[in-house]
Amino acid sequence: MAPLLEIATLRAGYGAINILWNVSLTIAEGQTTVIVGPNGAGKTTLLRAIMGLVPVASGDIRLNGASIRNRATWDTVKDGLVMIPEGRMIFPDMTVEDNLMMGAFPPACRRNWKANRQMVFDLFPRLAQRHDQIAGTLSGGEAQMLAIGRGLMEQPRVCLIDEPSLGLAPVMVDEIFRIVEHLKAQGLTIVLVEQNTNRALKVADHVYLMQSGKVVLSERGDAVNLDRLHALYFAHEE
Ligand code: ATP
């Protein structure tokens, strides 16, 4: 059976600058795949390429065996691939509730928006309390909850989450990982990019380490050798 999502010898970048060099990953259904790596390793570029936001030069991206390479982002979202971007990217002048509604645009999600909104509010009671608040006035942690909530309104089959704990206080980091664990327990397929390696490894079924646009380690979550991971993480290019 084909894996749910497969990235095969992918090259992608910005204009003449290539960033990803023959990157291959296999994302199994229902699993949490963690991608770690230092700043600039290309983790965000990889997620953006999957979503059709960065052009793919060569290689392929397959969802259920069918290529989604360079496809319109909108079509990819309708097929259930959802990205929760680094930096949250919420709409600061809109209310919490209206931000959530922005995630309910695909027709299938529009039909279920009420139930989905309730599911998000059950998951994040803080968002329910603040449903009328202008999103630009939320704390960093609340804004991250909103970004995750908006992603869940899109009824994802695969959720690509980019650095959700970045810049958050420890108590908020705990909260975000609690949610990731909850979504994992619900059977959602998750691709999590994190710099907080220690925390991310605890939820990982599979771990990839990226370095300078390449995958330099691919390991089952329970088989990761931390010394090797750290040595590769901090290794400098020759
Ligand atoms: P971080 O953890 O710092 O977010 P990352 O692993 O996600 O890093 P990317 O954001 O994918 O890395 O960046 C990879 C490389 O691509 C970096 O050298 C970055 O400067 C470059 N890059 C990112 N966006 C652009 C862009 N729009 N135009 C040109 N280069 C870019």
Q: How far is the CA of 92 from the centre of ligand 1 (A)?
A: 24
Position 236 scores a pLDDT of: 61
d(CA 180, CA 116): 17
80, 108 Cβ separation under 8 angstroms: no
Q: In which region does residue 153 sit, left (phi positive, over 0), alpha (psi from -120 to 50) or beta (all else)?
A: alpha
d(CA 50, CA 66): 13
Question: Ligand 1, residues 11, 19, 160: which to mutate, most atoms within 8 A of Cβ?
Answer: 19
Average pLDDT estimate for 216-234: 88
Q: How far is the CA of 53 from the centre of ligand 1 (A)?
A: 13
d(CA 9, CA 83): 21
Tokens linked to 12: 């992608």
Whether the CB of 69 sits within 6 Å of ligand 1: no
Whether the CB of 167 sits within 6 Å of ligand 1: no
Residues in the chain: 238
Average pLDDT, the chain: 91
Average pLDDT estimate for 39-66: 94
Position 237 scores a pLDDT of: 53
ipTM of the complex: 0.92
From the list 103, 105, 72, the residue with the least C-alpha distance to 88 is 103
9, 204 Cβ separation under 8 angstroms: no
pLDDT per residue over 106-158, tens digit each?
Answer: 777 788 888 889 999 999 999 999 999 999 999 989 999 999 999 999 989 99
pLDDT at 238 over 80: no
Q: How far is the CA of 54 from the centre of ligand 1 (A)?
A: 11
Residue 43 identity: K
Position 1 scores a pLDDT of: 64
- Residue 53: burial class (beta carbons within 10 Å; 0-12, 13-18, 19+): middle
Whether the CB of 55 sits within 6 Å of ligand 1: no
d(CA 215, CA 162): 17
Average pLDDT estimate for 6-14: 96
Q: How far is the CA of 55 from the centre of ligand 1 (A)?
A: 14
Q: How far is the CA of 42 from the centre of ligand 1 (A)?
A: 6
Q: Choose between 93 and 112: higher pLDDT.
A: 93
pLDDT at 26 over 80: yes
**What one-character-per-residue DSSP string does 69-132 give?**
TT--HHHHHHTTEEEE-TT----TTSBHHHHHHHTT-SHHHHHTHHHHHHHHHHH-HHHHHTTT
Average pLDDT estimate for 194-217: 93
